[in-house]
Each structure stands twice: as structure tokens, then as C-alpha cells.
Amino acid sequence: MLIDSHVNLHAPQFAGDQAAVIDRARQAGVGLMLTICDKVSAFEAVHAIAMGHDDIWATVGMHPHEAKENPSLDAGTLEALAARPKVVGIGECGLDFHYDLSPREVQAAVFRVHIEAARRTGLPLVVHTREADEAMGQILEEEHAKGAFKLLMHCYTSGADLARRVVALGAWFSVSGIATFKQAEAVRAVIRDMPADRIIVETDCPYLAPVPFRGRRNEPAYIPHILGKLAEIRGWTLAEAEARTEDAFFDLFDRIPRPALETAA
């Protein structure tokens, strides 16, 4: 099964043809998608997509760009929304010091609230980090010392040092279309050292379309190109890459029932 672990199907880029995008994904062999909540005010739209499709699940959370929308967010609010059917993760949340669209202190405070919600619910934390390696490592280590939680470093493009720090906390990593970009050798170098049993793949659509679609709107149907690049980077066959990433996905998002294996007639 091909799995796209991070899609943004409620994004305005899909407003005109969301159903066709989902259909193309299925035609490309994508058997499961996880659609991501980027702010609490968008949760109902995100959740409705998951509820309308057997093969789509959802998260609840607040991207660091949007943290300013609700700087007083509390873990109880996230916990209540996470109790809804088909919600299987907390996030996307974290730190983004590249754009600084929310004040850094607000980003950090809201991020810690998400971690508390992940602890309370037992759901994995979907983490966004950009140009914030030291602050991210410090927060995750401090919070992990208070009590363990599962975490996914989504679309990981940060450095090897942060990767080592979060590996020590048991983190999973997701690989995106950035791995296919010509100038992304530093990203590929980190991918080569990720724990083999904790790597999954994502499109992050409509953003970050892989080669040969770079510059276009991204879609879940393009996930085979990312899986193929991961296989190349790690020296795996395509079948091995698919099996490994599928196993890692269901180990992480363990509230999603794993489809039963088909038996031969």
C-alpha cells in the first residue's frame, strides 16, 4: 500500500477539484492519506474530509505560522477535538524561525501545549521545524523528560545534529519531495542515516512537488516519485521501501486499523 502521510486537502488550491485529486491519488495506488490540520479554526473542514472518505484520516493542531491566531490555546481544547472519530495525530505544530509569521515566544508556548495534548491522548505529535534546530531540540528534550510522547519530524530538512537528538527520543521522520531536488544533497545525507524502521513518506501537497513536477501544484498521486527517491537514497528496492514505510506508518499512527493481508485463493 502506498501511504501519503501528510496532505493538506482543505487547502484553497484544491477547492475546485478536491474530489478529482483524491480520485487521481487512488488511481496512482495511494491506499491511505492523512490530511493535516493547520489551525483549530480549520479543524471542522479538515475533519469533514476524513469523515467523508474511508481511506482518509485527520489530525488536529496549529501550524507555527498560525499560532498567533490562538496564543492562549490549551491542551484540553486539542484533547477534546482529538477524541472525535478518525483523528489520529496532534499537529502540525512546532517552530518556524524562517518566516516568523507568529512571534517566537508564542510559537514555543503553543508548541508545548500540543506536546501536552500528545501526552494526554497518546497520539503522535506531527512536528514542523525550520531554522529552529537548537530551540526545537531543547523543547523536545525538556518535554520528553516530563513524560514520553510519540513524535514525527515531518518533511525533515533540518540538520544532522537535531536528527541525532530526536532519534534519541524515539522520533520518526517523513521524507518529502524535497529529497528529489537537485540542490538537496544535505537533506539526502541526513536521510541516509535515519533509522530504517522509522521513515515514512509524504507529499505535503499542495506544496513541494517532487521532480519531475517541481513548480506545479503537488498532489498525493505524486507519492510514488518520493518513494522511488527514498529507495534510491537508502539502496532499497521499491518493494522494500514500500513495505518499510508502510510498517513504520502503522507503528506510528497506531490508531489507524491496518488492512488485513490478502490471502491467496
Residues 6+ apart with CB under 8 A from 101: 64, 65, 66, 68
Nearest Cα residue to 218 out of 207, 228, 227:
207
Taking the model in full, what pTM does it have? 0.96
**pLDDT above 50: residue 23:** yes
The confidence score (pLDDT) of residue 261 equals 63
SS3 of 201, please? Answer: strand
pLDDT band at 8 (very low <50, low <70, confident <90, very high): very high
Over residues 136-145, the pLDDT tens digits come to 999 999 999 9
SS3 of 107, please? Answer: helix
How far is residue 100's CA from residue 121's CA, in Å, rounded to a whole number?
29
Q: Could you tell me the residue ranges of all domains in the chain?
A: 2-252
Nearest Cα residue to 219 out of 68, 2, 14, 10:
14
Q: Write the CATH number of the domain with boundaries 2-252.
A: 3.20.20.140
**pLDDT above 50: residue 263:** no
Over residues 193-208, the pLDDT tens digits come to 999 999 999 999 999 9
